[in-house]
Amino acid sequence: MSEYFWTSLFKNFFIFGYAFVLCSFFSWVGIKLSHSYGFLDHPTDRKRHTKPMPLLGGAAIFVSFWGVVFTGIGAAYFLGRGIFDVQWPVLTHILSLTPKVMTIFLGSLVIFLTGLIDDKFTLSPLQKLAGQFLAVFILLHSGLTINFIQNLGFWGDVITFIWVLLIINAFNFIDSLDGHCAGVALISALTFFWITQIIDQAMVGFFLITFAGVLAGFLIRNFRPASIFLGDNGSQFIGYMLSAFTLLCHYQGDQLHHITSFIPVLIFGVPIYDTASVIVVRLIRRLAPWKGDRNHFAHRLVKMGMSDRIAVIFSYFISVTLGLVAISTTQVSAFGATLVGLIFMSIIGVIAFLEVYAARRQQVLEKLARFKAHREASAQERRPWGGYEVLAKGPDFQVKKIQVEPGLRFSLQKHAQRDERWVVVQGQGMATIGKKEWPIARGSYLDVPRGTIHRLHNTGNEPLALIEVQLGDYLGEDDITRLEDDFGRR
């Protein structure tokens, strides 16, 4: 391999490592500052965490990324135009793109501050959208558009505006489980970086390898169990920057074709699918598209039976698969790229089919569970002291599950025509058998011969449950002689 290859490899590893270490450090700082200044995500019924979580993960990513980028621009200036006068093509590219980079920085600052204010004070959906609009307008002001529609003028700007807005909100949507948004974004950034190496766009590659290093440094503190969250300041910033990278990158060339312009759609397959499916479901349920719920792609995977961590890793695998599909479009003809696109649609179709099947299966299971609960509730006989349920019954035997609520007791009574045996399965209390009282707890068992006075008293803080086996010629409820009753029954 050439010396240039090894030099480039070392340079990219150095940038990635520097960004990784920097963001890991600032993530730790973000945890401390979040607690000091009240940037915390408090638990609610809709959220899975059980304690307040720091929300300045986006601040760590923002500071780390732009810190590395501006360091690189400064180094390019001094090496390329300063006292060293080093002739590297990438330095020339960095300096030529500096005005656009500054515009991207200003837009990212707006989107970051919008998310930061939302995390602290909770903005309305319209206020958040206004901040996003402003950030996208600043980005378009730099002249960046989706490269294959740049000749469409006004309509090209409109399509670009919608695209950037979509990706911002798509990554905001998938910030649902620990490590989900940051991990998918990391895979997307690395995939884009690989493609920039194939199509020889070193400058965009510098941004992407920096962004990937920053995300990796944050992910080690964000993967489950997370010690810091992205917050809206982070998820929106990630979506904004990745969409900006798609505008910086040009996919056409002597060896490429227009179909490669759809590479970003392939790479962002998971967040785009999540956004589209969530919006469709909310509209079907007649809910506002921006109203939060627990019906995102990762949440639906958890409902299928996956743990949070496995659901996130499963999303990673899908992202990697779609990323490899995207990379392959640069290596085939236009016809081959069309086939790759059909493969992408098939993958999304299979995922959607499995989701629909799993959702319907879950609905059936929920209906069965409700039916079972209703049947059990209807089978249970209620009494002032608790209740009982008949588990089995024959001509001369009966098995009941009896439950006595905390602090209550049933009547002091006796039976003329049956014997009983009790086995305690839950709780604790006192049993009166004849003239004696016995403390009982889980595992205790007692015999109650016919004609013997008896009573159960729950002295604990939880229900007292026992299995009662009755044997006798007659097992009716009217074979009870009450000698004393707290509820005035006879």
**Quick check: is 421 in a domain?**
yes
3-state secondary structure of 249: coil
28 pLDDT tier (thresholds 50, 70, 90): very high
pLDDT (tens digit, 9 = 90+) per residue, 370-408?
777 666 655 678 889 999 988 888 889 999 999 999 999
Considering the domain architecture, whether residues 321 and 393 belong to the same structural domain is answered as: no
**DSSP string computed for 71-139:** HHHHHHHHHHTSSS----HHHHHHHHHHHHHHHHHHHHHHHHHHHHHHHHH---HHHHHHHHHHHHHHH
pLDDT (tens digit, 9 = 90+) per residue, 314-341?
999 999 999 998 888 887 777 777 787 7
**Quick check: is 377 in a domain?**
no
Paired with 388 in beta bridges are: 381, 402
Paired with 392 in beta bridges are: 399
**pLDDT tops 90 at residue 409:** yes
**pLDDT tops 90 at residue 250:** no
> Which of residues 473 and 203 earns the better pLDDT score?
473
Considering the domain architecture, whether residues 419 and 341 belong to the same structural domain is answered as: no
Which residue, of 315, 335, 364, is where some domain finishes? 364
**Quick check: is 374 in a domain?**
no
Q: Which residues of 258-282 are buried (b: 16+ CB within 10 A; e: fewer)?
A: ebbbbbbebbbbbbbbbbebbbebb
84 pLDDT tier (thresholds 50, 70, 90): very low
Considering the domain architecture, whether residues 218 and 311 belong to the same structural domain is answered as: yes
How far is the C-alpha of 57 from the C-alpha of 345, rounded, in Å?
34
Considering the domain architecture, whether residues 265 and 409 belong to the same structural domain is answered as: no
How far is the C-alpha of 115 from the C-alpha of 111, rounded, in Å?
6
Q: Residue 290 has what pLDDT?
A: 77
* Boundaries of domain holding 406: 384-484
What number is the average pLDDT over the span 113-128? 93
pLDDT (tens digit, 9 = 90+) per residue, 147-159?
777 777 788 889 9
Considering the domain architecture, whether residues 348 and 459 belong to the same structural domain is answered as: no
Query: Mean pLDDT over all residues of the chain?
Result: 86
- Cα 332 from chain centre: 35
Considering the domain architecture, whether residues 393 and 322 belong to the same structural domain is answered as: no
Considering the domain architecture, whether residues 320 and 390 belong to the same structural domain is answered as: no
**pLDDT tops 90 at residue 229:** yes
Paired with 428 in beta bridges are: 441
pLDDT (tens digit, 9 = 90+) per residue, 166-184?
999 999 999 989 999 999 9
pLDDT (tens digit, 9 = 90+) per residue, 2-20?
555 567 778 889 999 999 9
Considering the domain architecture, whether residues 155 and 264 belong to the same structural domain is answered as: yes
93 pLDDT tier (thresholds 50, 70, 90): low
**pLDDT tops 80 at residue 474:** yes
How far is the C-alpha of 418 from the C-alpha of 416, rounded, in Å?
6
300 pLDDT tier (thresholds 50, 70, 90): confident
294 pLDDT tier (thresholds 50, 70, 90): confident
Q: Residue 378 has what pLDDT?
A: 57
pLDDT (tens digit, 9 = 90+) per residue, 426-465?
999 999 999 899 899 999 999 999 999 999 999 999 999 9
**Quick check: is 22 in a domain?**
yes
Residue closest to 55 by CA, chosen among 71, 42, 70: 42
CB 416 within 8 A of CB 473: no
Considering the domain architecture, whether residues 351 and 308 belong to the same structural domain is answered as: yes
CB 383 within 8 A of CB 402: no
Q: Residue 331 has what pLDDT?
A: 77
Q: Residue 368 has what pLDDT?
A: 83
**pLDDT tops 80 at residue 254:** no
**Quick check: is 108 in a domain?**
yes
Q: Which two tokens stand for residue 21?
A: 């270490």
Paired with 423 in beta bridges are: 445, 467
Q: Residue 83 has what pLDDT?
A: 42
Which residue, of 364, 399, 415, is where some domain finishes? 364
Considering the domain architecture, whether residues 295 and 393 belong to the same structural domain is answered as: no
Considering the domain architecture, whether residues 150 and 222 belong to the same structural domain is answered as: yes
Q: Which two tokens stand for residue 146?
A: 């989706």
pTM of this prediction? 0.73
Which residue, of 364, 393, 421, is where some domain finishes? 364
Considering the domain architecture, whether residues 394 and 346 belong to the same structural domain is answered as: no
**Quick check: is 95 in a domain?**
yes
What ranges in 308-434 are assigned the alpha helix state H?
A: 308-328, 334-379
Distances 343 to 18, 324, 347 between C-alpha atoms, Å = 37, 12, 6
What number is the average pLDDT over the span 231-245? 95
What CATH code is carried by the domain that includes residue 443?
2.60.120.10
86 pLDDT tier (thresholds 50, 70, 90): very low
Q: How many domains does the chain have?
A: 2
> Which of residues 363 and 83 earns the better pLDDT score?
363
DSSP designation for 226? P
**Quick check: is 399 in a domain?**
yes
**Quick check: is 413 in a domain?**
yes
